[in-house]
Amino acid sequence: MTPFSFGGELFGMWNWLDAVVRVVIVVTAMTLVVMYLTYGERKVVARFQQRLGPTKTGPAGLFQAFADALKLVAKEDIRPTNADRWVFELAPYATFVPVFLVLLVLPFAKDWGVRNLTLGMFFVFAVLGLNIVGIIMAGLGSGNKFALLGGVRAAAQMISYEIPLVLSLLAVAMVAGTLDLNQIAMLQEDRPFIVLQPLAFLIFFTAMLSEMHRAPFDIPVAESEIVGGYFVEYSGIRWSMFQLTEYASMWGFSVFGSVVFLGGWAFPFGEDWGWGWQLALTFMKSIAWILTIFWIRTTVPRLRIDQLMAFCWKVLLPLSIVQLVANGFILVYDWPQELLTATSGAGAVLLIAIIITRSVRRPKNKYVGSYRQVGVTS
């Protein structure tokens, strides 16, 4: 009996008790991480905006997350009179369960996780697609036109960006030759896949922001347009479930992206280092990933819905398909791996150039943004 085999017995217990212990560990870690991600985002965004952020509750405001959690639990749970009761009440849990299931298959270190799956990456594809169901339930069940509009926006956005996201990960799976996340991490002991597939990394990171509704793709929850989106009618513990889902998915995506593109626990020290160092390495990579998300929130303005959809279907999707075709030719004909870096790097440069060009391009119509554009006169 191995002391800690991934998918085997953890503490020398029976299998069912071992599974319960693993799940409890993940739930506890997820709760603490989510609470301090909310605190961390408020502090980081405050520093970007030359403010202090939370400072009153505890030293440097460290207990602010606990105070917010207690406040939300104590708030009254209100349900609109014209809401569909069961759909409205089950929607927050329907959005949370897929994110939680993803956390159960992530390798945080060598042989450290709840369950290792041979088709781990495929499992992530399948489960993340279920998140849309809970969002649609929240939009339809609330009986609110703003919630419905937010749910429709979220569905269109998530379905669209899920295609390039999956294709970018398939490009990595082609290079790795496996869908096992633990094996993918081990294959990056000497060189992370971000070096071989920089275009896939950029596509994945962009689509990930859209899937999580983070800036500049936060159109479904735009406060200035639809008053908060699909969870506008929620309060108390049910509203906190949506927040828990958002930050848990951020943590899950950061760990998943670190494993797939940055080498996870394996790069640069390999398997020889102990599990403590491997956990720390995964944690540091995920924190760097999350800080980048915070930085983008403070610096990039929100896109319009037409810009968001056009960028997906006209830019990301064609580039991801070209990436897959190029990988296929290089791998089938056994050409040097340097060609993977060269072709993907050229695509990454093209993607960055398109983003810069679109961001500085002036509108052709001089009345864009004015009332004259829609035929309204003052």
- Looking at residue 82, its pLDDT comes to 85
In a domain, 121, yes or no: yes
DSSP structural state of residue 109: B
- Sign of the alpha-carbon torsion through 53, 56, 59, 61: negative
User: How many Å apart are CA 255 and CA 1, to the nearest integer?
Assistant: 28
Residue 270 in domain: yes
What's the CA gap between 141 and 372, in Å, rounded?
37
pLDDT for position 7: 46
CB atoms within 10 A of CB 131: 23
Mean pLDDT of 206-235: 85
Other Cβ atoms within 10 Å of 37 Cβ, number: 22
Domain-embedded: residue 90: yes
- pLDDT value of residue 18: 76
Q: What is the pLDDT of residue 14?
A: 62
The answer as to whether 377 is a domain residue is no
8 within domain boundaries: no
Q: Establish if 215 belongs to a structural domain.
A: yes
Residue type, 275: W
Question: Which segments of 192-266 are extended strands (E)?
Answer: none
Q: Is residue 29 part of a domain?
A: no
Domain with 93, as residue range(s), is: 79-359
The number of folded domains in the chain is: 1
- Mean pLDDT to the nearest integer, 94-98: 92
Residue 13 has a pLDDT of: 56
Q: Give 32-74 pLDDT, tens digit per residue.
A: 999 999 999 999 999 999 999 999 888 989 999 999 989 988 8
Long-range contacts of 191-197 (CB under 8 A, 24+ apart): 191/267, 192/261, 192/262, 192/263, 192/267, 193/260, 193/261, 193/263, 194/261, 194/262, 195/341, 196/337, 196/340, 196/341, 196/344, 197/168, 197/171, 197/172, 197/261, 197/323, 197/327, 197/340, 197/344
- Check pLDDT > 50 for residue 256: yes
Instruction: From 342, 189, 327, 328, select the one nearest 266 (Cα to Cα).
Output: 189
Higher pLDDT among residues 271 and 242, named by residue: 242
Name the 3-class secondary structure at 31.
helix
Q: What is the mean pLDDT of residues 247-253?
A: 93
For residue range 172-189, list pLDDT tens digits in order: 999 999 999 999 999 998
The pLDDT of residue 366: 55
> How does the average pLDDT of the chain come out, rounded?
87
Q: How far is CA 128 from CA 22, 84, 311, in A?
A: 21, 25, 21
The answer to whether the CB of 124 falls within 8 A of the CB of 105 is yes
Confidence at residue 4, expressed as pLDDT on a 0 to 100 scale: 39
Q: Provide the pLDDT for residue 99.
A: 92
In a domain, 304, yes or no: yes
Contact status, residue 36 vs residue 69, Cβ threshold 8 Å: no
> Can you tell me the mean pLDDT for 324-346?
94
With both helix axes pointing from N to C terminus, report the angle between 236-261 and 275-299 in degrees, rounded to the nearest 10. 110
